[in-house]
Amino acid sequence: MAKMPVTADARNPFVLGHLHALGAREFVHPNGSLERHLRATARLLRRWGNRDAVCLAGLYHAVYGTAGIRGALVGLDARAATIDVIGVEAEGLVYLYGACDRDGFHPRIGTAMQRLFVDRFARAEYAIDACRLRDFCEITVANELELARRSAAFRARHARALMELVERMQGLISDSAYAAARAALRQ
């Protein structure tokens, strides 16, 4: 099968076709289907000026599951297939996002421990470089803002904690992401 060029455009038929084949449209998510959430997350990342690999990671960020949702579209044994669709860099970010032990890692962000990642899949801690940390934070903000923008209940329940996290991420995330978070999460 000839691959189409990979772009972060959520309309790319090759990239979207893979998401459809994985069942993203049917996977139930708090804001409707997982596909809808993934596409909206990728659009935020694109709007904030992120490079293609980060936007593609946003489009696929939950395919391996996350600490916040039950289930996954695909197991970790399919990482090579995901790489074939979105590329090595984007897939590495997708793995990082899905692997994050939020309870263990999020409190480290903004501290001297922020580059010691807590991986729930590997049940391990390891160093991540500054670029991957920034990309992870940008995807995290896009994911949470997509949820907050669509759900007043989510926003009311989580806005304070999310704003505290975003404040600790300042300097790690783009000015656009920071401004969008402040606007969406104001109490």
Q: Tell me, yes or no, whether 6 lies in a domain.
A: no
Asked if the structure places residue 82 within a domain, the reply is yes
Q: How many domains does the chain have?
A: 1
Higher local confidence (pLDDT), 69 or 113: 113
Tell me the pLDDT tens digit for each residue of 118-177.
999 999 999 999 999 999 999 999 999 999 988 888 888 999 999 999 999 999 999 999
Residue 8 lies in a domain: no
Domain of residue 24: give its range.
13-182
Using CA atoms, how far residue 119 sits from 27, 73, 167, in Å, is 24, 19, 23
Mean pLDDT of all residues belonging to the chain: 90
Residue 140 lies in a domain: yes
Tell whether 159 is covered by a domain: yes
Mean pLDDT in residue range 43-55:
96
pLDDT band, very low/low/confident/very high, at 2 (cuts 50, 70, 90): very low
**Is residue 1 predicted with pLDDT exceeding 50?**
no
70 DSSP 8-state letter:
S
- E strands along the chain, which residues? 28-29, 32-33, 116-119, 124-127
Average pLDDT over residues 53-66: 94
If pLDDT is split at 50, 70 and 90, which confidence band does 8 have? low
What tokens appear for 96 in the block?
A: 């990082």
0.85 surpassed by pTM: yes
What pLDDT is stored for residue 29 in this prediction? 63
Look up residue 113 and give its two tokens. Answer: 């421990």
